[in-house]
Structure formats: C-alpha cells, structure tokens
Chain A
Amino acid sequence: MSGEKQAALVVDNVSKRFGDAEESVLACDKVSFEVKPGEFVAVIGPSGCGKSTLFNIIGGLLGEYEGDVRVGDVRIDGPHPSIGMVFQEESTFPWRNVIDNVAFPLELRGMDKAQREEKARHFIDLVGLDGFEKRYPAQLSGGMKQRVSIARTLVSQPEILLMDEPFAALDEQTRLLLGDKITQIQQQLKQTTLLITHNLTEAVQLADRIVVMTYRPGRIKRIVNIDLPRPRTSDVVGSDAFGHYVAEIWNDLREEASRGMQDSEATARADRRRV
C-alpha cells in the first residue's frame, strides 16, 4: 500500500565526479533510491563511499551533479525549504543560547520574537532539553549540543529531515539513548527521515530501510528492509532479529570496508615512498 504513495524524495541515477580531467574521483555512481512519506531510510557505507557527497547534493549544498534529486516535481540544485539538514560537526552557534539557537530558522523568516520562542520551546521540549533554554552551547555536553542542532532543524518543520552522522562524535551509550529519542520524535511527528551513517547498529536500530553503499565509486550494493516492530526502543539491539540483520548487512559491508582499508593503506605506503 505504501508503495503507491508518491515518494517524498527521489534520488534518481545520481553521479558526481570530483577533480579535473587528469585526476578525478567518481564519488557517487548512478545512485537511485526513494524515501516515502513518513519513512526512515538510512544510507550506510564505509568511509569513501560518497555518503557525504550524497548528503551535500540532497541538501542542495552541492549544486552540480548528474542525474536528479527531486522533492515533488522540483529538481534540487540549491537548499530547498522542504529539506532540513543536521550536520555531523558540532554546528550550534556559540554566541546564541539554546532557545535563540533553535529559533534561528524562524528568525530568518522574520517571525516575531514571542511566537518564535513559543515554537522553539516546543521543539526544545521534544528533544528533552527543557530547562536548558538559557544555557549557551559551551555549557552543554556533546549529545545535548547535537540535540539543539536537531531541534533547530525540526523547528523549521521540514518535510524531510536529512542527517549526516549526527552522533558520530558521541560515545556508544549516548548514541543508543539518542537513537531512542530520534525514534520517538520520528514516530511522534511521522517525520520522513534520511540518515547518512557508517554505524551499522545505529542504522538497524533506527531505519525502516537501509541502503548499503559500496566503496569508491559509491554505488548501491543492496537495499535491505528492516522488519523490526515499531514502536522501537534501544532494547531491540538485544533481539535475535536485530542480530540477524546486523550480521547480514555486515557481510556486505565487510567486503567494502576492507577494500577501503586496503586502498588507504596503499595510498599511505605510496606517500611514504614519495617522501
């Protein structure tokens, strides 16, 4: 049934090459997949599979590419109001407190102060940071700062939430707990989400579908449906089905990751010889 719904986001035959004629790298090669409304899709692959390139293309920060990324009937070639991005790096504004950070997108739209603060408060509650409205990022932990970034993106009420390894800098326990928070928010808002990650348990914990990418050039190796029950919590990591999915996807991923490792080792050796 859900297959008949029109996709919220279509990635159609997308390729991207970096560099000049002499030396170039094919970062993405004919990548195609769809994200349906309300669906949580994760893109997973080893370092160097063009995940971040894909993130930047879909977010509209990388305007020139081959193929199409479409939201509705619009081809993405710049930042689109329907897509909200959350970055891997710590990206809160250090000179703004939590509430002003979260209200930032509303401020850009010229919404008046009372209204935008009320809305910001709602999303601060949602990510569980109520009570911290007046704190500055320097006073928060890494996980809290990332939640501020997520709230800041959600406040603009994007149709599609696009996240690039938002928990990469956090420890495993915090990551699992934040995963719960994300699942909860996603189910509450029925938020269409595309998560870019290299973390396998995170992908299986959160996603309805996982797009597995190959090492350079980044192609789609396989798309796996994750039929774990919803509502889901981090308890799911103990289940047999979870283990089964992780093992299955790791099987695909291992090959790619070891190719990536050999490649970077070869580069390091070549560099050493040159020196």
Chain B
Amino acid sequence: MASTGEMILKASAADMRRGRASREARIVLTIRLAVVGVFFLLWESVSRSGLIFQDVVPSLFAIGQSIIKLLLSAEFWKNLQVTAFETLTALTIGAITGVIAGIVLGANRFIGDAFEPYVYYLSPTPRIILFPIMIMWFGIGLASKIALGALSSFFSIALSTAAGMRQIDKVLIRVGKSFRATSWQMATKIYLPAMRLPVLNGIRLGFGTSLITVLLAETKLSNQGLGYMVMSIYNRFDMAGLYALLVIVFAIAGLGNMLIGRLARE
C-alpha cells in the first residue's frame, strides 16, 4: 500500500518535471533557431550592401548553389572518403592506445604520478608542429596524417579514461567483491560500465581533435582529402565554393559529435 502511494507521488512529481522541462526545451529551441536566422540575415545584408568586396561575402543563394554543386560532384565524395578514412583510422588507433594507457595510469597510483604530468602538459600542444616529423617517418601519403590524428586523439582519450578509472565509486567495487565476482566479472560488469561515460566522452573529444589535425595536415601537404580540397578551391578563388565546403565540413563534424554523444547517452 505504501508503495502504491509512493508510486503515485513519484509519478506526479515526474510529470511536473517533464512539463517544465518541455516548456524550457521549446524556448531553448526557439533561441537556437533565432540565432541561425539572425546570422543569415546579417550575412545577406552585408553581402548585398557592398560594404565588403562582394566575392569575399557571397550571397546565401550563391553558397547554396555551390553546396548542391559540391554534393553532386564525384571529386567531393572521393575526398570525403579519404578524410573519413584517415580520421576514423586515426581515432581507432588513438582510442585503443588511449584507453589502454588510461587504464594503466588510472589503476596504478605510482605509474599515474610518474607519467600523467607528461600526458597532461603535452595534451594541449598543437600536434601540427609535429607534421614535418611525421612526413619524414611515414611519407607524404595518408599514413602521416593518420599518425598525426592518432597522436592528437590519444591524449584526451587517455586522460579521460584515467579520470574515469579513479572516479569509480569504491563501494561498487566492494559490492562486487562481497558477491565474489571473478576478475573478469569485475572488469566487464563493474569497471567497464562504470567508466563508459568518461571513456566515450574522451573519444568524442578525440574525434574532434583528430578531425582538426587531419584536415590541417591535408591543407599543408597533400593531394587528396577535404583539407586539400579547401586549399585548391581557395587557390581558384571560388569563395562561394569555399564557404560551401566549410559548411559541409561543419555539418559532418557536428554529426559525428552527435552520434558519439548519443551513443554515450544510450
């Protein structure tokens, strides 16, 4: 009887929360759309005013046209494939090595104390300065971009895995022990699920940094990939095409981020 009472109380409280939350969500969505609308409006008015050289700020219509043209060209898809392959391979390598390194750093206080400062202080340095070295080691093809991308995602993944390892609620480990879980059961049923969020968050950040690094490397020295494509369009001074490509790259990066984020929430 007490439990039905509790259930009703709980349910109505949850409904109220949900109601408030949906109202807030609507307002947030409106603001988001308004930001985009205002931005488009400003852009278009600057473009038409002629205050800035028209070719530098092309009209939205021209950019839209270029987006369609790009999406229909074989060249774009070929380059996208190259960049996607480089980024995902880099992320996979970075994630595997990063998670392993993070577990070692997080599990052992001694090793953590000894090595973590290096990981921590090296992580914000821009990896692109290592590009010449990667070219010397791996050549000017895809391998050097993958190596650089892997290196850049490694740090954030290792750090967040190590943090996740340390943040595990100690009582959950005691619960596992009290039920006499084997080491394998402890790893798969307690440590891994407890660490899933920080690890996936690290991978999300790693995806961002490896995509940035790969694109940056492609603009420097490459004959394929989206970064290369940006530079070649720029050299033709096709501003609408350049903006169109940037919009597509933003969309891809956002989509990738969202996918990993959704995976984390699942």
> Residues of A with Cβ closer than 8 Å to B?
59-61, 79, 81, 84-85, 87, 89-91, 93, 95, 104-105, 107-108, 128-132, 139, 141, 144, 156, 177
Contacts and interface: CB of A to CB of B under 8 A. Distances in A.
A166 B47 CA distance: 68
A131 B2 CA distance: 12
Contact of A61 (B3, B7, B174): B174
7 contacts: A61-B177, A84-B178, A89-B171, A108-B182, A129-B3, A141-B6, A144-B6
Contact of A132 (B7, B14, B177, B179): B7
A89 to B, nearest CB: 4
Given A79-B178, A108-B185, A93 B193 contact: yes
B248 to A, nearest CB: 36
Given A93-B172, A93-B193, A95-B194, A131 B178 contact: no
B20 interface: no
Contacts, number: 59
Nearest to A129: B3
B175 interface: yes
B265 to A, nearest CB: 12
Contact of A59 (B178, B181, B194): B178
B180 A81 contact: yes
Contact of A131 (B3, B171, B174, B180): B3
Nearest to A78: B180
A100 B106 CA distance: 28
Interface of B: 2-4, 6-7, 10, 14, 169, 171-172, 174-175, 177-182, 185, 189-190, 193-194, 196
A87 B171 contact: yes
B193 A131 contact: no
A230 B118 CA distance: 65
B6 A107 contact: no
B179 A105 contact: yes
A105 B185 CA distance: 11
A230 B6 CA distance: 27
A95 B172 contact: no
Given A87-B174, A89-B169, 8 more contacts: A61-B177, A81-B180, A87-B171, A91-B169, A104-B189, A129-B3, A139-B14, A156-B179
Given A93-B172, A95-B194, A95-B196, A79 B3 contact: no
B3 A130 contact: yes
A84 B178 CA distance: 7
Given A95-B193, A177-B2, A108 B174 contact: no
A108 B194 contact: no
